[in-house]
Amino acid sequence: MVFRCYYITFVVIEQILRIVATSMDSLGPRGMFYLAAAVSDFYVPWMSM
């Protein structure tokens, strides 16, 4: 099983959110998008990955 970990800076996230919000502007008050995040608060040793 292969796990991939992606690193995205907050600058990139802000740019993506700005593009999405601008694209959805034509929907007016009917437009809505959801954001979700998962944060792990446990340690996994490198050899166990």
- Least Cα distance to 33 among 22, 42, 43 occurs for 22
Q: Does any domain span residue 18? A: yes
The pLDDT value given to residue 7: 81
Per-residue pLDDT of the chain (49 residues), as tens digits, is 777 777 888 899 899 999 999 999 999 988 888 888 777 777 778 888 7
- Asked, for residue 32, whether it belongs to a domain, the answer is yes
Query: What's residue 22's pLDDT?
Result: 93
What's the confidence (pLDDT) of residue 31? 87
Q: What is the pTM of this model?
A: 0.54
- Using the CB atoms, write b or e for 30-47: b if 16+ within 10 Å: eeeeeeeeeeeeeeeeee
Which domain covers residue 30, as residue numbers? 10-48
Domain count, the chain: 1
Q: What is the pLDDT of residue 48?
A: 82
User: Which pLDDT does position 27 carry in this prediction?
Assistant: 92
